[in-house]
Amino acid sequence: MPAKKTLLIFLFISFIQAFSSFGVPVSYRISNKNAEKPDCPVIDYSKLVIKQPACDDTNGSITGLSVTSAGRKILYIWRDANNTIVGHSINLTKIPAGTYTLQVIDNSGCPTLTYSTPIVVENANGITIDDSNVSIRISSCTKGTGAISGIKVTGATKYEWRKQVSGVIVSTSTTTADLKNVPVGDYQLFLYNSACQLTSKVYYVNSTLQVPAVVDVKITNPDCALSNGSIVVTLETGFSNLKFFFADSQGNRLSDGIIVTDNTPILKLSGLDGGVYNLYIYDSHYCTELLGSYNLPSSVLSISQTETAVTNDKCNQHLGAIVPVIENVEAGTRDILYTWTDVNTGQVVGKNKVLNWIGAGTYQLVVQASSECRAVAVFNVINVSPALIPPAAQGSTLCLPGQINITATNPDTAQTFKLYAEANDNTPIDSNKTGIFYRQVDKTTDFYISRVHGDCESERTKVTETILVALKIPNTITPNNDGINDTWNLTGIEKFPGADVRIFTRNGQLLFHSINYPSPFDGTINGTPLPTGVYYYIIDVKQPVCFGKIAGSLTILR
């Protein structure tokens, strides 16, 4: 035997012995490897189609994915980048630009979760900004020499720079995003193309003026009806030849001073009402820099009309609520009184801060913190009538007249269901909370069912109950030979060949028997008139498709 072949046999035997040392046969390990492989769904991307939405629109889509699964039931869950569920079909439509992930769940016993790779849907005609290499040049105090450059933009045909606070346009270009020769300030870039608009973050152009950093700020808010607010700003040391001033939001100077560098600079402003106060630093050349802006709550107690949450009533069910936001109440203030009044009736309807379970109307809130701190606000609550989903119901088919059952397949016990005989009837023929109605019909009949919630009612769903053969059975005959109702005419009995008709006395005695009912019953037996009274009948139609017996009473009047 050649040496090479001998070496291969030796290695193979050593391999077998090594695995056998673990106490498990090699053949078991090999076959069990496949047995442990989970039976999981597989997502096929080969026919993936991504439709880009128009800029800021929701007409994008992800289609063409397919899933192979051993399970019979497959559930699809689409999520966006915020992990919000946005779809339950394998095709995702009507979406904006974003990143989407599909989760597939089946009943194949897969022990792991199956997710697609993240699928990115970009805007058509989109604009992108890359400011990783942005460069900002400072400006001198006397001339506008600042600049912003290095921002890379794709997809834009117009570049527009604006002052961030005022919104004033300072530069417009169709070729570059660079901003040149501007003074100190905040600037924002607006980008446009034929379909899209994109706004950059705010960039600050600093000045050549070197200012100290703010080490600490202590603000005392003014009490209600008292001008006792204050601002204390501590600066870092090491800056000389600088001056400062405080100004209100209208630019009026309130306090001027010189920064003393021998000690830690502490700048104070007191006797303040609520408002915005700005601290400026400037040098001997009057190069000025805004060091800080401080907002003190107004010293007048107030109720915010814009931030107060008003929940409107629905279907006149008194589901409305008002959650007020009270401004300028000092922390820890107690004994605040709340009084809610219905403006239309003048009645007090609440003494708590939040007013719940109210209907449409106008409500006034009075907040009393002290004799000098009082605020009043009025809020309107309206009644909204959301469209209710009509109930789903299907008609049935009977061969003969009888009792039918109309059932709403999506009942809601918190609501009421109404049954109408006509589409435009104002008054229902029946109503309940179960959505199940029983009616006696002797011919094909249309019914209409609606869902009602409070004062709101859905559109009506048409339900057709079909009677294949309308067999009309009179309950009275007057055999007096006047030619009117002298005989018991069973209209439609000819549709049932072999029909068996029987009439009995109250005691069960058979008085009349006929097959096919060739001659109508005339109220006589062997030519002898039967006395006035109530008799009973049984009609057996004897048809496989319409098998059934009809029983009832027949009154003879003479």
Give counts: helices (H), strands (E), the chain: 2, 50
Same domain? For 317 and 360 the reply is yes
Same domain? For 76 and 110 the reply is yes
* Confidence check: pLDDT of 28 > 70: no
- Domain-embedded: residue 142: yes
Same domain? For 307 and 378 the reply is yes
Q: Residue 488, Cβ neighbours under 10 Å: how many?
A: 23
Least confident of 348-357, 423-432, 549-558: 549-558
Q: Which of 19-33, 88-102, 217-231 has the highest mean pLDDT?
A: 88-102
* Higher pLDDT pick, 21 / 460: 460
Residue % of the chain over a pLDDT of 90: 54
* Confidence check: pLDDT of 9 > 60: no
* Confidence check: pLDDT of 36 > 80: no
Rounded to a whole number, what is the distance in angstroms from the first to the last CA of the chain? 125
Count structural domains, the chain. Answer: 7
- CA 462, CA 191: separation in Å to the nearest integer? 55
CA angle 130, 133, 138 (to 5 degrees): 120
Task: For residue 63, give Cα distances in angstroms to 42, 118, 503.
Answer: 16, 14, 70
Same domain? For 18 and 63 the reply is no
- CA 367, CA 348: separation in Å to the nearest integer? 14
* Higher pLDDT pick, 153 / 194: 153
- Domain-embedded: residue 532: yes
pLDDT at 4: 47
CB distance 159 to 166 below 8 Å = no
- CA 240, CA 264: separation in Å to the nearest integer? 12
Same domain? For 336 and 318 the reply is yes
- CA 342, CA 364: separation in Å to the nearest integer? 7
What 3-state class would DSSP assign to 195?
Answer: coil
- CA 453, CA 412: separation in Å to the nearest integer? 10
pLDDT at 450: 93
User: 110-163: per-residue pLDDT in tens?
Assistant: 888 899 999 999 888 888 899 999 999 988 877 788 999 999 999 899 999 999
- CA 74, CA 89: separation in Å to the nearest integer? 10
* Higher pLDDT pick, 157 / 273: 157
Mean pLDDT of 224-247: 86
Chain-wide mean pLDDT for the chain?
86
State the residue range of the domain holding 28. Answer: 3-35
* Higher pLDDT pick, 276 / 71: 276
CATH of the domain at 102: 2.60.40.10
How are strands ordered across the β-sheet holding 253-258?
Answer: 253-258, 243-248, 275-282, 288-296
Q: What is the DSSP string of 486-534?
A: -SB--BTGGGSTT-EEEEE-TT--EEEEEES--S-B-SEETTEEPPSEE
pLDDT at 336: 86
Same domain? For 74 and 17 the reply is no
Residue where a domain stops, chosen among 121, 138, 160: 121
Residue % of the chain over a pLDDT of 70: 89
* Confidence check: pLDDT of 331 > 80: no
Per DSSP, 121 falls in state E
Same domain? For 379 and 307 the reply is yes
Would you place residue 11 in the very low, low, confident or very high pLDDT band (cuts 50, 70, 90)?
very low
- Domain-embedded: residue 389: no
Structure token digits, residue 40? 């999981």
* Confidence check: pLDDT of 263 > 60: yes
Residue where a domain stops, chosen among 257, 277, 296: 296
pTM of this prediction?
0.38
* Confidence check: pLDDT of 468 > 80: no
* Confidence check: pLDDT of 248 > 70: yes
Structure token digits, residue 90? 């394998």
Give 239's contacts (C-beta < 8 A, 6+ positions apart): 210, 211, 212, 259, 261, 265
What 3-state class would DSSP assign to 35?
Answer: helix
Phi-psi region of 3 (alpha: psi -120 to 50; beta: other; left: phi over 0): alpha
- CA 325, CA 309: separation in Å to the nearest integer? 8
Would you place residue 330 in the very low, low, confident or very high pLDDT band (cuts 50, 70, 90)?
low
Would you place residue 46 in the very low, low, confident or very high pLDDT band (cuts 50, 70, 90)?
very high
Would you place residue 399 in the very low, low, confident or very high pLDDT band (cuts 50, 70, 90)?
confident
- CA 546, CA 57: separation in Å to the nearest integer? 58
Q: Where are the beta strands (DSSP E) in 312-373?
A: 313-314, 320-327, 337-342, 348-350, 355-358, 361-368
User: 56-71: per-residue pLDDT in tens?
Assistant: 789 999 999 999 988 8
* Confidence check: pLDDT of 170 > 60: yes
